[in-house]
Structure 1
């Protein structure tokens, strides 16, 4: 099989077809890919089957979100899917902040983390309720650099698990609806005012949460950290680059933040393109596709395929497409093939230590329910 970045070049005896520096839409299904941020919250293989058809492996991330399947159920589904599709489905464990600060909480969480590692987890998720809702027994907001959470992170580092951190929200979250840069953020926060921080000035600001995350990472050198949702620095690729420069063990996933990148590339396409080329080893492709029990599998998979192909068109090709979140036509970045191969696959293999999966040629190529938040 040809490698992803080496397309066939012969076109008749003695003739050679010039090799494009970037992929096209025709390459989508055959190139090995990895969606590093999905949520399989239902025991249904529909999304996994679609992923196989479209050339993806999946990282399903457990999280103690109020509108998700209970966390124990998510874990059971993740283990079952990983057992049924070894090499194609991987998973991240998580924990509940319920009971935080009570005797035995830290011991229970660290022991469970060791169990999850033995069961095949590749990472642990620290969710946004840390710093944005969870409280200690005295009613104080729990911040990421609390000693008990540091102990959990130390356990993750000792076990060799990556830590996926969702701290903060998009910068739009601290703006009034009419000043937000993307329609998808306006829609999301108008429907979920409890997460719209502009309405909650008593809670930490965006800069406070980013500083909290950075203190946490400074205290944990060597921790493999994945900043979910572009590390909540999606609004400014220069600030995101500065974060990656400061923390060499950190990477970020792109989940639910494509329209913010596209907003910036409408203003300065080369600035965004240059960011991806410079930090090609530090970014993971991801979507935040969330497959819930209430979803119609056929409609969900149709929407998921549309998201995967739309993102590929933007990142990998030079084609323009209409982006409804911006009400604008957005040209593709046409990133070089080797850059796409890293962002879409190689970086995830390294960060989640999936070398065995990468060596398995059998997975290399194939022939309202999809929230992007």
Structure 2
């Protein structure tokens, strides 16, 4: 509250609320009304506290802060998600994948370009490349030409997906890993041009565990046994996936890289910290929020210290998919509530419930850490400035 602002409610506690003193109250109130025009002329105006002066945000600050969600998949021309993002002050990156299921890559990119045309101030998009032509001799040249065309159409980053390492095979039947020599040429092109790369390499460690030993993924892998690697020991191991990704970063130290889903190291903050220390240009998104809540449940202080130590390397994201069958009102309410709940976890120390485990306290990270995680780190990684 401004120091020179005279507030009547500050006077009331000093006056005994009795019948004989009511005249004093009336006189004081009249005096306050008399002074109002003078105060207005001298610039005494009511305003909210400057948010930049606060050491910590609150739940109520959610709609006062610009935020960025670095991991969104829009699979429809409908704009209802973007309308909710605008309402909640979220900017975002729409990501195109080369998936063997769902909406094909070219259609995903068409949706991204459509929305970029209509909402250029609210979003950016990351393109990708196909591997169905992997065994063709001109794959590298064709892929780079495709990426250049995508950049001309507005893409600002590239996504490399888990099909490399988990689906793609060479002519002799061997799995193609992300550190394959042919991929080096593509990564050198990205590195030389400072083009950001988002890498979904491998899967959560749960993927290689029996269902009963998993933390949060029983439902998905129970419904999709074809992706449950515990059932497919002939496929590359979890360690194979992580080692290939690490080797890729060793070979390309200047690559502007973000590991999706906590770099597939969601199960161990120690292992994630080792990679962030070893690869200075590596960042990760924090889309596996249940794992972070579990770390907080087990050791809140340790988790909080991790966030503060690596505050320049963590980027907020949700991995939200927006599909044609979504009901607009339900989708908008769901994503708003998710954004709000995760804001509460990161900025407050309110008690929260982690299903299957129990109650934990939010991390209540300092304002400057929140600013980095929710906007500044994405801005630096994607090399963009906020559009007004």
The verdict on a shared fold, with TM-score over 0.5 as the criterion, is yes
1:11–1:17 Cα contact (<8 Å) kept: no
Q: What RMSD over aligned residues (CA atoms) do the two structures have, in Å? A: 1.8
The answer for the alignment partner of 1:345 in structure 2 is: 375
Q: 2:294 and 2:253 mapped to 1: Cα distance?
A: 33
Tell me whether 1:197 sits opposite 2:234 in the alignment: no
Tell me whether 1:37 sits opposite 2:71 in the alignment: yes
Structure 1 stretches lacking a partner, 5+ long: 1-8, 363-373
The answer for the alignment partner of 2:180 in structure 1 is: 146
The answer for the alignment partner of 1:237 in structure 2 is: 269
Q: CA deviation at 1:20?
A: 5.3
The answer for the alignment partner of 1:99 in structure 2 is: 133
Q: Aligned to 2:130, what secondary structure does the other structure show?
A: coil
Tell me whether 1:86 sits opposite 2:120 in the alignment: yes
TM-score (norm 1): 0.89
Cα deviations by residue, 1:93-116 (Å, 9 ceiling, x for unpaired): 001211212222221111111111
Q: Aligned to 1:130, what secondary structure does the other structure show?
A: helix
The answer for the alignment partner of 2:17 in structure 1 is: none
1:37–1:61 Cα contact (<8 Å) kept: yes
Cα deviations by residue, 1:239-261 (Å, 9 ceiling, x for unpaired): 11110010001100112x10011
Q: 2:95 and 2:246 mapped to 1: Cα distance?
A: 22
Tell me whether 1:282 sits opposite 2:313 in the alignment: yes
Cα deviations by residue, 1:48-107 (Å, 9 ceiling, x for unpaired): 110010110010000012333211111111112112111211000001211212222221
Larger relative contact order (CA 8 Å, sep ≥ 6): 1
Tell me whether 1:219 sits opposite 2:211 in the alignment: no
Q: Indicate the structure with greater helix content.
A: 2
Q: 1:137 and 1:86 mapped to 2: Cα distance?
A: 42
For these two proteins, the number of residue pairs brought into alignment is: 346
**Structure 1 stretches of 4+ moved >4 Å:** 14-20
Q: 2:283 and 2:227 mapped to 1: Cα distance?
A: 25
Tell me whether 1:306 sits opposite 2:306 in the alignment: no
Cα deviations by residue, 1:7-60 (Å, 9 ceiling, x for unpaired): xx6476399989653211101121110000000111111111100101100100
2:347–2:364 Cα contact (<8 Å) kept: yes
Counterpart mapping for 1:300-339 below 5 A: 300-324=331-355, 326-339=356-369
Alignment partner of 1:266 out of 265, 283, 297: 297
Alignment partner of 1:166 out of 200, 209, 213: 200
The answer for the alignment partner of 2:18 in structure 1 is: none
Q: Aligned to 2:371, what secondary structure does the other structure show?
A: helix
